[in-house]
């Protein structure tokens, strides 16, 4: 049962997306076993809304290793609609491009996004992840054994909708493997050289959020904004200011993608989602 009648999409995001909780938004609080969660509900169309959950929960900034992921995801579970997570990442290696940008004279001859050209290709959609975090609670089930299936960690149906939206708007993007580190420090050059053998982008907020979403039976996908080349892949140091600038530069486009996705979901019947994805049955037969 949905907590908010007209909400069709929940957004979980961090730095740079507080605008979604400002003027015109209805502020609510959802109680979870892990603490209260502030949620902003704002109108996205004539008869549908979106819910926004900030990872920082009213504070200026919460370090990634201290985010209360269980509370955030449990609140999303109570809202009961698909979840789009927005994450900032560094690009670790050249990745193939997808999307429709034949009309763009600058981009039409490009086939790959490289760390030195990430500004032209800032959007990345993960289809898998590697967990390199160290001290985060990655389950709701500490009192029982639940082996949730993570073969397909991100909802294929929701990702396909994202692909269609990006291509319809002639936005180039790449996809691949997201690697999550503990933070809050940035990675060393040696770490990036090792990680790049196994993954494409590196970030600090995607895990355990994606795992908890799977345990909660949520349709969950991530839209990553590439804000910088990873450590050692440019002549410059990796800085927090660089990440912030990258987020701000692409904020308008991200919000447009969110609006388009919510519009698509508003025209989808709940049963259609159940038929086309397996997210809600991920924990079936998972308990010992």
The string of pLDDT tens digits covering residues 270-284 is 656 666 678 888 878
138 token code pair: 């990655």
Binding positions:
55-56, 204-205, 228-230
Binding positions for phosphate:
55-56, 205
Tally of CA atoms within 13 A in the half-sphere of 135 that contains its CB: 7
Residue 101, pLDDT > 80, answer no
CATH superfamily of 86-281: Nucleoside phosphorylase domain (3.40.50.1580)
Residue 127, pLDDT > 60, answer yes
Report the percentage of the chain scoring pLDDT > 90.
Answer: 65
Residue 121: phi and psi, rounded to 5, are: -135, 70
What was the pLDDT predicted at 264?
Answer: 96
Mean pLDDT of 139-168: 94
Radius of gyration of the CA atoms of the chain, in A: 18
Q: What pTM was computed for the model?
A: 0.92
What was the pLDDT predicted at 111?
Answer: 57
Beta-ladder partners of 97: 174
- Cα–Cα distance between 277 and 81 in angstroms, integer? 13
- Cα–Cα distance between 124 and 226 in angstroms, integer? 7
Q: Find out whether the peptide bond into 184 is cis, omega within 30 degrees of 0.
A: yes
| Mean of the per-residue pLDDT values of the chain | 88
Q: Count Cβ atoms below 10 Å from residue 167 Cβ, excluding itself.
A: 15
Binding positions for substrate:
204, 228-230
Mean pLDDT of 238-261: 93
- Cα–Cα distance between 288 and 123 in angstroms, integer? 39
Report residue 212's pLDDT band, with 50, 70 and 90 as the boundaries.
very high
For 184-196, how does the pLDDT look when each residue is reduced to its tens digit (9 = 90+)? 999 999 999 999 9
What was the pLDDT predicted at 106?
Answer: 43
Of residues 94 and 79, the one with the higher pLDDT is: 79
Per-domain residue ranges for the chain? 86-281
Residues 6+ apart with CB under 8 A from 46: none
């Amino acid at each position: 049962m949905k907590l908010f009648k007209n909400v069709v999409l929940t957004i979980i995001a961090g730095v740079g997306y507080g605008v979604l909780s400002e003027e015109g938004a209805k502020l609510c609080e959802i109680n979870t076993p892990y603490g209260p969660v502030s949620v902003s509900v704002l109108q996205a169309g004539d008869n549908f809304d979106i819910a926004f959950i900030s990872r920082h929960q009213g504070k200026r900034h919460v370090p990634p290793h201290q985010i209360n992921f269980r509370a955030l995801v449990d609140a999303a579970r109570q809202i009961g609609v698909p979840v789009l997570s927005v994450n900032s990442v560094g690009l670790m290696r050249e990745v193939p491009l997808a999307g429709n940008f034949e009309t763009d004279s600058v981009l039409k001859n490009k086939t790959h996004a490289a760390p030195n050209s990430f500004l032209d290709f800032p959007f990345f959609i993960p289809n898998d992840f590697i967990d390199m975090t160290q001290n985060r609670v990655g389950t709701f089930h500490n009192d029982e054994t639940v082996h949730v299936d993570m073969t397909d960690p991100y909802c294929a149906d929701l990702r396909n909708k994202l692909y269609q939206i990006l291509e319809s708007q002639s936005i180039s993007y790449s996809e691949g493997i997201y690697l999550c580190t503990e933070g809050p420090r940035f990675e060393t050059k040696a770490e990036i050289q090792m990680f790049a053998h196994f993954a494409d982008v590196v970030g600090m907020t995607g895990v355990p959020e994606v795992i908890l979403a799977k345990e909660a039976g949520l349709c969950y996908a991530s839209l990553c904004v590439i804000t910088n080349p990873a450590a050692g892949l440019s002549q410059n140091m990796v800085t927090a200011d660089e990440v912030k600038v990258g987020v701000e530069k692409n904020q308008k486009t991200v919000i447009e993608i969110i609006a388009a996705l919510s519009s698509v979901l508003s025209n989808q019947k709940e049963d259609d989602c159940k038929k086309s994805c397996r997210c809600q049955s991920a924990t079936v037969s998972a308990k010992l």
